[in-house]
């Protein structure tokens, strides 16, 4: 079914809202997981996000933001609220180390840790753009709508972020080589 | 990270997806691949949350429409409009016949005291031609619960300052506050000049009432508005 119709139905049909949820739950969860780290905290935030979306979907108008951008604005704000309420700022890159006990670390968690460390070198805006793009799987126009920037500006942010990540990668590669030699 | 390294090695391929520079397209794809390895929600969580959401949605649909913020604001707007309207109405000239005296020359005395001609006015007992509002007009109970008619205004006893204030307040058709009382002499007679103003919100009505110190007969001076 076309997404616009699904959203229109979701406003009055609970089952259709369930279908909409299925469409986005993975992307929302991954975004929050990378930002927060801990699975339990992630689940709490994700639940909160979906209840907020349910509460305000009546007010959503597709002539404004695309739905993905609307939803991810809620997502992004909810994660910010989470950190604001905790009143502690855990820098990206340290999230997993601080929140996940060693025995809970799986390959997937290690991937999150690796991603977080890489993102730690980016500016806030670059990091947000990268997360929306790759964890949220949003299109450039949707990211632009969430960040309130032009598509060109978002492309610029992502390009610089990818270059930065690649530079880091080069460094990592050199380290690996040196480790092999030694 | 491994994916990004591979992408770096295989970069510079053709294509221009999403406006990225060619050498970053592979990095873009690699990043997608890297993030795809982040685990999604567990099946239990996904199912449980969906069930809770659907249940909440059903309750929400069944629930009667609550007053939204916008509706509340609409009500507040209406109330504000009413208050404004009342304010504007009170700015308009007062058409009460008791409040708008027909001014006439004050006769031979040259007094500043105004004369009035309404059914509630009687001629001044001294025959000066000066019409005054009688105590009958002030028969309504004033704020202190004391009626002007109850006051002892018989000649000779004199009218106290406080009684003069009460008499004066009964002469106007708005809630009046006494701003000041002073004894004055007009045409050889002694009066209490009571300055009144509107008590509370509204147009700042202002009147001076002369109350005869001996008889208690009130005379509304020219409106100060």
- Residue A46 near residue B46 (C-beta atoms within 8 A): no
CA distance A169 to chain B (A): 6
Cβ–Cβ gap B4/A114 under 8 Å: no
A47 close to A28: Cβ distance less than 8 angstroms: no
Report chain B residues whose CB lies below 8 A from the CB of A22.
50
Sign of CA dihedral B49, B52, B57, B60: negative
Picking from A57, A111, A129 by the largest number of B CB atoms within 10 A of its own CB, the best residue to mutate is A111
Residues of B in contact with A107 (CB under 8 A): 37
Give the 3-state secondary structure of B33-53: HHHHCCCCCCHHHHHHHHHHH
Question: Helix axis angle, A39-56 relative to A67-86, nearest 10°?
Answer: 130
Chain A residues in contact with B60 (beta carbon < 8 A): 54-55
| Partner-chain contact A159 B52, CB within 8 Å | no
Determine which of B38, B54, B60 to mutate to test the interface with A (most A C-beta atoms within 10 Å).
Answer: B38
Q: Which of residues 16-35 of A touch B (CB under 8 A)?
A: 17-18, 21-22, 25-26, 29-30, 33-34
Overall pTM > 0.90:
no
CB B215 within 8 A of CB B191: no
DSSP letter at A135 equals: I
The answer to whether the Cα torsion of A170, A175, A179, B3 is positive or negative is negative
Closest CA to B209 of B201, B218, B200: B218
* pLDDT tens for chain A, residues 1 to 182: 688 888 888 888 888 899 999 999 999 999 999 888 888 889 999 999 999 999 888 888 877 788 999 999 999 999 988 888 776 555 555 444 434 444 444 445 555 566 767 788 888 899 899 999 988 999 999 999 999 999 999 989 998 888 888 777 666 554 444 333 33
pLDDT digits 0-9 by tens, B37-64: 888 899 999 999 999 898 888 877 766 5
Query: Do the interacting molecules here have an ipTM over 0.85?
Result: no
Run of H or E residues at A141: helix A140-147
Cα angle vertex B53, ends B48, B54, to 5°? Answer: 100
pLDDT tens column, A122-172: 888 998 999 999 889 999 999 999 999 999 999 899 988 888 887 776 665
B198: confidence class by pLDDT, cuts 50, 70, 90: confident
Decide if B34 and A134 are in contact by the 8 Å CB cutoff: yes
User: How close A166 gets to chain B, by Cα (Å)?
Assistant: 7
CB spacing of A134 vs B31 below 8 angstroms: yes
Q: How far apart are CA B176 and CA B120, in angstroms?
A: 20
Q: Do B38 and A51 touch (CB under 8 A)?
A: no
Residues paired with B209 in a beta bridge: B194, B220
Q: How far out from the chain centre does Cα A127 lie?
A: 9
Could you say which DSSP state residue A134 is in? I
In degrees, rounded to 5, the angle at the alpha carbon of residue B20 between the alpha carbons of residues B17 and B23 is 100
| Structure tokens, B112 | 């500043």
């Amino acid at each position: 079914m076309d997404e616009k119709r699904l959203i229109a139905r979701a406003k009055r049909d609970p089952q259709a809202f369930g279908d909409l949820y299925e469409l986005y739950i993975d992307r929302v969860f991954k975004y929050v997981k990378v930002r927060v780290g801990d699975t339990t905290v992630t689940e709490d935030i994700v639940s909160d996000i979906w209840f907020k979306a349910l509460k305000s979907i009546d007010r959503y108008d597709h002539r404004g933001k695309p739905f993905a951008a609307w939803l991810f604005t809620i997502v992004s704000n909810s994660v910010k609220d989470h950190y604001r309420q905790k009143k502690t700022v855990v820098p990206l890159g340290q999230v997993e180390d601080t929140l996940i006990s060693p025995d809970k670390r799986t390959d997937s968690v290690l991937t999150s840790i690796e991603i977080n460390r890489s993102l730690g070198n980016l500016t806030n805006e670059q990091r947000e753009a990268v997360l929306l793009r790759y964890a949220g799987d949003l299109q450039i126009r949707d990211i632009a709508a969430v960040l309130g920037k032009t598509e060109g500006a978002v492309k610029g942010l992502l390009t610089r972020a990818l270059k930065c990540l690649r530079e880091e990668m080069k460094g990592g590669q050199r380290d690996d080589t040196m480790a092999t030699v030694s | 990270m491994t994916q990004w390294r591979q992408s770096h090695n295989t970069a510079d391929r053709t294509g221009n997806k999403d406006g990225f520079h060619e050498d970053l397209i592979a990095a873009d794809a690699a990043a997608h691949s890297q993030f795809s390895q982040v685990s999604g929600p567990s099946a239990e969580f996904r199912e449980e949350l969906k069930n809770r959401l659907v249940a909440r949605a059903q309750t929400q649909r069944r629930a009667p429409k609550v007053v939204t913020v916008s509706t509340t604001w609409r009500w507040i707007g209406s109330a504000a409009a009413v208050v404004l309207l009342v304010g504007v109405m009170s700015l308009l000239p007062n058409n009460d016949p008791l409040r708008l005296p027909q001014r006439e020359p004050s006769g031979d005395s040259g007094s500043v005291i105004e004369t009035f001609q309404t059914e509630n006015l009687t001629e001044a007992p001294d025959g000066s031609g000066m019409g005054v509002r009688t105590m009958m007009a002030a028969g309504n109970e004033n704020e202190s619960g004391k009626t002007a008619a109850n006051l002892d205004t018989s000649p000779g006893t004199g009218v106290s300052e406080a009684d003069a204030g009460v008499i004066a307040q009964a002469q106007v058709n708005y809630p009046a506050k006494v701003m000041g009382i002073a004894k004055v002499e007009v045409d050889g007679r002694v009066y209490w000049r009571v300055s009144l103003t509107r008590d509370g919100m509204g147009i700042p009505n202002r009147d001076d009432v002369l109350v005869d110190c001996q008889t208690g007969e009130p005379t509304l001076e020219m409106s100060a508005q």
